[in-house]
Amino acid sequence: MAKTTELTHRLCTLIYFVIIFVIMAYCVLNAMYTVIIGGTTFYLFASFLLILQLIFALRTSLDSRIYASLGLVLLIVGLLYNYGLDFLSSLKAIILIPALMLTLFGLDSIYKHPTRLMLLKIGLVLGLLLLAYSQYYELVELQNYYNSLHNGETWQQFGAL
- Does an H or E element contain 89, and which? none
Residue 126 confidence (pLDDT): 93
Residue 59 confidence (pLDDT): 72
Rounded distance between C-alpha atoms, residue 31 and residue 42, angstroms: 8
Residue 23 confidence (pLDDT): 94
Residue 156 confidence (pLDDT): 57
104 within 8 A of 64, measured Cβ to Cβ? no
111: buried, middle or exposed (CB in 10 Å: 19+, 13-18, 0-12)? middle
Q: Which of 87, 49, 55, 44 is nearest to 71 (CA)?
A: 49
- For the full predicted model, state whether its pTM sits above 0.85: no
Residue 25 confidence (pLDDT): 94
C-alpha dihedral over 62, 72, 125, 36, to 10 degrees?
A: -130
Residue 129 confidence (pLDDT): 94
Residue 28 confidence (pLDDT): 94
Residue 52 confidence (pLDDT): 86
At 58 the three-state DSSP class reads coil
Cβ-based neighbours of 101, under 8 Å, separated by 6 or more? 120, 123, 124, 127
| Amino acid code (one letter) for 36 | I
Residue 71 confidence (pLDDT): 77
Give the residue ranges of the chain where pLDDT is below 50: 1, 161
53 within 8 A of 64, measured Cβ to Cβ? no
Residue 65 confidence (pLDDT): 67
Distances (CA, A) of 90 to 7, 59, 80, 146: 43, 31, 11, 22
Residue 70 confidence (pLDDT): 78
Q: Which of 43, 21, 46 is nearest to 33 (CA)?
A: 43
